Chain A
Amino acid sequence: MISARRRARGVLPGFGLSTGFTVLYLCLVVLVPLSTLAFRSSTLSWGEAWRVVASPRAVASYRLSFGASLAAAAVNVVFGVLVAWVLARYRFFGRSLVDALVDLPFALPTAVSGIALTAVYARNGLVGRFLEPLGVKAAFSPLGVCIALTFIGLPFVIRTVQPVLEDLDAELEEAAAILGADRWQTFRRVILPAIVPAAVTGFALAFARALGEYGSVVFISGNMPLRTEIAPLLIMTRLEQYDYAGAAAIAMVLLAASFALLLAINRLQAWTRARTGRA
C-alpha cells in the first residue's frame, strides 16, 4: 500500500536514491569546496582582510573588472538586440550559418578566443592595423579587456531576446500600423517594451559572465598591475605567491558580486516570464 506521504510526494520509485545522490554529489562537488573559501578568508582578521581587499592594486582591479564588464555588456545589449532582430525578422542568404556562428563564443575554449583576439587586435593584426593609425591601441590596454569581454558575452543578449522577438504577436504590430504608427514608432512603443525584460536579463547574464572571465582576457590585456589587471588575475597572482588567505579575501568580494547578480537574474527571469507569459 502506498502511504499518504508517498502519494503527496509522487508515486514513482527512486525518490531516496535520486535525491540522496543529488544532495550528496552537490555537497561534495560544490558546497564543501565553496565553503572552504569562506573559512580560509576568515583566518584573516577584519583589519588584515580590509588591507587586502581595499589595497590600491585590488581596487584598481575591481574598477577594471566592473567597468570593462559593464561596457562590454552595454555594447552587447545594443548589438545583441540588433542581431536578434535581424536573425528573427529578416531572411537572407546564410542566415542559419550566421545563427550558428552566434554560439561560437560559448563553444570556443577561452584560451583559444584569447590568443585569436590578441592576434587580430594587436598592432600588426588584421583589425588592429587599421586601429593603430587612428591612435587606438586595442590589445594590451583596457580596451582590449572590453573587446575580449564583449566576445565572451555576445551570445547572451542575442539568445535571450531572439525567442521573444520570434514569439511576438504579429497582430500587435499590425494594430499599431492600422492606428497610424510608422515602423519606428511601432518599434519604440510596441516592440521595445516587450523585449526589455529579456534584454535586461541578457545584459545581466553577460555582465556576470564577464566579471569572472579569465582565459580570454589574460592574453589580450597585457596584465599590467594597476592598469590592465582584472580581479580574477589578481587572485591568480596571489595564489602563485601562496597567499591563500589574501586570494580568498579577494575571491569573496568577486563571489559576492556574482551571487548578487545571479539573484538579480533570477528575479529578472521571473519578470520576463510575467511579461511574456512564457518560461
Chain B
Amino acid sequence: MDAGADGAGVSGAARTAARAQDAAGRTGGTAVHPEPFDRLRAGSAPLEAARSRRTSTPTATSARHPRPAHPRSVTEDPPAVRWSLTALALVFLAAFVLVPAGSVVVEALRDGLDLWWEALAEPDALAAVRLTLLVAAIAVPLNALFGLAAAWSVTRFRYPGKNVLVSLVDLPFGVSPVISGMVTVLLFGAHGWLGPWLQAHGWKVVFAVPGIVLATVFVTFPFVARELIPFMEAQGVEEEEAALVLGASGWQILAKVTLPNVKWSLLYGVILCNARAMGEFGAVSVVSGHVRGVTNTLPLHVEILYSEYRFRAAFAVSSLLFLLALVTLVAKKTLEWKQHPARREAARRSAP
C-alpha cells in the first residue's frame, strides 16, 4: 500500500481515476490493477467484495496479465455500442447532409468542366453574381454597424427596457422568409404605404434592386448583434473604463480597445451574416419580380434555371453557392478554433 496515494492530499483527479478503476475492476473490466482503494472502503458491499478480490491477488498479477494500453473506464461504452451508434449517426448524416451536398458537386460537373464553365459565364449568371455581391456589400456592413452599436448600448450601459431591446433583435429569426419579403412589398409596393409617394418621385423599390437590399437587410438583421452581445457581455467593461480613466475619447476607446478585443467575434458574425445575405431565397423571391439579368440574385437564378428544366446549369450555379457555404464553414471553424475558450462560450450562448 502506498500511503502517499492514500493520504489526505490525494487530488480530486486522482480520486476520480481511482474510483473509475475500482469500478472497472468490479464490473469485470480490463483495468484490474492493484491500487489502494481504502478511501472507498466506506462500507459498500460490492466495493468490499471487489477490494478483497483484489487484495487476495498478489501484486504479480499485473505482470502476468499486462494491462492493455487503453483500459476502458466505466464512463465509456462497450465497443459494440460505440461502433453501432457511430454508424447509425453517420448513416443519418450521410442520407440527410452528405449525399445531397455531394450531389450538387456531382450534378454540376457531370458533363465536364467546359459545360460547367459555360453555365457560369452566361451573361444572366454573371449579372446574378454581380447583384448578389452588391446586395451583400450593402446589407452586411449596415447590419455589422448596427450589431456594434446595439452591443455597445446593451452591454456597456444599464437602462430600463434593455431586455426587451435584446429580444426584439432576434425578431427577424422568428419570421418566415416569405413574410420578411412580404412586409417590404406591403411598405414600398405600388399598393403599399409609401408606394404612391415613391412612384410620384420616380423611385422603384419593389421588383427592383432596392427592394432586394431591404429584404436582405431585414433577414440578416440579427446575425452580428447576437454574436457580439454575449461576447461583449462576457468581456466586461474594465478595459474600456481603464482607457477612459487614462483620458481616451469615446472613438479612441472604440478603435483601440473594443474593436481589437471583439474583432474575431465581429468577423464571425459578419461571415454568418454574409452567408445568409448571399444565399437568401424566400424573402428576395417575393420582392424581386424575377427580371432576368436585372433583379435576379444567384439563388433566384438557380430557381429560374431549374424551373426551365436546365438542371445542369442550375446545379452549376448552385455549385458556386455550395462553394460559398464551404468557405463559410471553414472560416467559421477557423475562427472558433482561434478564439477557443472565449469564442466557444459565446457561440454556445447564442446557439443558432
Contacts and interface: CB of A to CB of B under 8 A. Distances in A.
Most chain-A Cβ atoms within 10 A of its Cβ — which of B237, B311, B325? B325
A111 B325 CA distance: 12
Contact of A22 (B90, B165, B244, B285): B165
B99 A120 contact: yes
Nearest to B40: A178
Interface residues of B, number: 114
Contact of B104 (A37, A116, A248): A116
A112 B279 contact: yes
Interface string A9-51: 1111111011101110110011111101100100000000000
B78 A183 contact: yes
Contact of B278 (A29, A109, A170): A109
B95 A244 contact: no
Given A14-B250, A102-B93, A107-B325, A235 B230 contact: no
Interface of B: 16, 19-20, 22-23, 27, 40, 44, 46-47, 73-75, 77-78, 81-82, 85-86, 88-90, 92-93, 95-101, 103-104, 107, 146, 149-150, 152-154, 156-159, 165, 167-179, 182-187, 189, 191-193, 217-218, 221, 230, 237, 240-241, 244, 249-250, 253-254, 272, 275, 278-282, 285-286, 298-300, 302-303, 306, 311, 314-315, 318, 321-322, 324-326, 328-330, 332-333, 345, 348-349, 351-352
Contacts of B306: 115, 219
Q: Which 8 residue pairs across A and B have the least CB separation, nearest first?
A: A109-B279, A212-B176, A13-B250, A215-B281, A214-B282, A177-B74, A33-B183, A107-B325
Interface in A49-90: 79, 82-83, 85-87, 89-90
A110 interface: yes
Contacts of A192: none
Contact of B149 (A9, A18, A108, A120): A18
A242 B95 CA distance: 40
Given A12-B240, A174-B23, A214-B281, A119 B103 contact: yes
Chain A, interface SS category? helix
Given A101-B98, A212-B179, A12 B253 contact: yes
Given A37-B179, A239-B286, 20 more contacts: A12-B244, A33-B186, A33-B218, A34-B175, A85-B89, A89-B77, A101-B93, A103-B332, A107-B279, A107-B325, A108-B101, A120-B99, A127-B99, A154-B97, A155-B352, A171-B16, A173-B75, A178-B22, A215-B285, A235-B176
A269 to B, nearest CB: 9
A112 B349 contact: no
Nearest to A121: B100
A108 B325 contact: yes
B75 A177 contact: yes
A109 B321 contact: yes
Contact of B176 (A83, A170, A211): A211
Contacts of A248: 182, 186
A65 to B, nearest CB: 10
Given A36-B192, A248-B186, A255-B175, A111 B96 contact: no
A8 interface: yes
Given A8-B158, A170-B16, A18 B325 contact: no
A136 interface: no
A114 B310 CA distance: 15
Contacts of B321: 108-109, 111-112
A79 B103 contact: no
Given A11-B244, A19-B157, A30 B168 contact: yes
Contacts of B74: 173-174, 177-178
A258 interface: yes
Interface of A: 8-15, 17-19, 21-23, 25-26, 29-34, 36-37, 40, 79, 82-83, 85-87, 89-90, 92, 98, 100-113, 115-117, 119-120, 125-127, 147, 150-151, 154-156, 159-160, 163, 170-171, 173-174, 177-178, 180, 183, 205, 208, 211-215, 219, 231-233, 235-236, 239, 242, 244, 247-248, 251, 254-255, 258-259, 261-262, 266, 279
B205 to A, nearest CB: 12
A174 B152 CA distance: 44
B108 to A, nearest CB: 10
Given A150-B96, A151-B96, A174-B23, A100 B279 contact: no
Contact of A109 (B167, B230, B281): B281
Contacts of A26: 146, 150, 165, 168-169
A270 to B, nearest CB: 12
Contacts of B88: 82
Contacts of B146: 21-22, 25-26, 29
A169 to B, nearest CB: 10
Contact of A12 (B86, B149, B156): B156
B175 A151 contact: no
Nearest to B234: A279
